[in-house]
Amino acid sequence: MLYKLGVFLTTQELRIFFEYFDTDHDGGISLSELINTFKMFRETISASRLKAIRSTFNQLCNGSDKVAVMELGSKFVAEKHPRVLSREKTADHVRTDFLSGIAKYANDMCDEEAFVGYYMDMSCTLPQEKENYFIQVLQQTWGLNNTDSMVDTRSEGYVPTKRIEQLENIVFEKIRQRTHGAEDDGRTIYKVFKHFDMEGHGSVSIKEFKQVLHRFGCYFTDIEFNALFNRFDENKSGKVDYEELTGWVAMKGAGNNPNVMNQFRMTREPPHSVLD
């Protein structure tokens, strides 16, 4: 399962990972164990999603602090759910899912805390790039049109610096997982770049850049791919010099393999932690 998700662990790492999820230590991981272990993700929700949820609740309860669950059921427009419109689900299926889900948080009356709790469960199953989809679900299933108050669409093409740093760390971790023994992390990705650089120019286009990262199990949104590509395309030539990039990877891995000589243009820093 992890291999198909693009996670490549050593046998030792896999054992630790497995034992972490196997909370009852019966030698198997049940669905409930998997979900319960990931509860921490439920507490993480973007400001725009939280704002959209609260805005929706305020419009539904007309200024009151509670609304009847039966009233919510009558106002819920399952037929307009994106997955019903795409024929992935039936309206009855979506309506049943909503009623059974909200029942976990509210009995006869639903307050804002219960409403937010239900949608936080949904939010934790939708990654960051599904932000607009999440807002769309709220708007269409509750028949709301006030998009400006729910989300700032002007930021759609922007990737924060912190997120780019996260992407860099994800890429490096995937490369590290595919680097064995005393091999150089930079050499691992260099071989793949070399494979896609058909003309031997020492650089790759954004299309080839994506293909390389796909090989390592890195599947980001187009906006994130572009931001990451631009991060390494320092002279804005539309090409990434992959020897410089692989040198960066080698330097980043210096703490893991301090005795491996750097084979690229970039000068490797001494392994200060080891020297100390």
- Predicted confidence at residue 26, as pLDDT, reads 93
How far apart, in whole angstroms, are the C-alpha atoms of residue 190 and residue 175? 10
How far apart, in whole angstroms, are the C-alpha atoms of residue 131 and residue 49? 7
Digit-coded pLDDT (tens) for 13-42 = 888 889 888 988 999 998 888 877 776 666
66 phi and psi, to 5 degrees?
A: -145, 155
Which pTM value belongs to this model?
0.47
How far apart, in whole angstroms, are the C-alpha atoms of residue 67 and residue 57? 9
User: Do residues 203 and 241 touch, judged by C-beta distance below 8 A?
Assistant: yes
Query: Inter-axis angle of helices 242-252 and 222-232, to 10 degrees?
Result: 90
Q: What is the mean pLDDT of residues 116-131?
A: 83
Our CA angle for 144, 105, 121, nearest 5°, is 65
How far apart, in whole angstroms, are the C-alpha atoms of residue 251 and residue 266? 8
Spell out the residues 6+ positions from residue 9 whose beta carbon is closer than 8 angstroms to its own: 2, 17, 177
Q: Please state, for a pLDDT cut of 90, what percent of the chain lies above it.
A: 27
Torsion 121-127-129-130 (CA) sign: negative
Q: What is the amino acid identity at position 244?
A: E
How far apart, in whole angstroms, are the C-alpha atoms of residue 78 and residue 137? 10
Which candidate, 87, 84, 104, 85, places its Cα nearest to that of 95? 84
CA gyration radius, the chain: 24
How far apart, in whole angstroms, are the C-alpha atoms of residue 39 and residue 87? 30
How far apart, in whole angstroms, are the C-alpha atoms of residue 214 and residue 218? 5
- Predicted confidence at residue 3, as pLDDT, reads 84
- 269: number of Cβ within 10 Å: 10
Digit-coded pLDDT (tens) for 146-203 = 544 454 433 445 677 788 888 888 888 888 888 877 777 888 888 899 888 877 888 8
Digit-coded pLDDT (tens) for 57-78 = 999 988 789 999 999 999 999 9
Alpha carbon 95 to its chain's center: 27
What domains can you pick out in the chain, each with its CATH number? 47-155 (1.10.238.10), 161-271 (1.10.238.10)
